[in-house]
Amino acid sequence: MTDEVGESYHDVLARNIKANKEIIILSMLSKKPMSGNDLIEELVLKTKVFLAQSTVYPILYSFEEAGILQAKYEKGDMRTKNYYITALGREIAQKKKEYVFKSMTAVNDLVQGKDGEGAL
């Protein structure tokens, strides 16, 4: 269902997921190690939002290079790397989650016309 400006709930959801893709990837990997394709498939399954490999893999590679993730080939499968979140990655994920929650609260307050500390 779309509104007067031709935007649906799914459009807004997709925009929010794409804007927060790094923390979403970290959060998913903090629950269990996965390959890039597994991340993409699980996101589609849960939200019907597709992130392309050309979006997901550069994030995984940069996180691996920064020590936020560690990639490992699984026994018997030298084609698929699973990504594991490191201790540093868990710290960063927690801080980013706090930022996302605080910013979403500020947006919610603005949308609902509430007074508050907002985005400060």
Q: Domain residue spans in the chain?
A: 9-112
* Interval 29-88: pLDDT, tens: 999 999 999 999 999 999 999 999 999 999 999 999 999 999 998 777 778 899 999 999
- pTM equals 0.84
CB 36, CB 56: distance < 8 Å:
yes
CATH fold of the domain at 9-112: Arc Repressor Mutant, subunit A (1.10.10)
> Is the pLDDT higher at 118 or at 33?
33
DSSP 85-99: E-HHHHHHHHHHHHH
* Interval 58-73: pLDDT, tens: 999 999 999 999 999 8
Length of the chain: 120
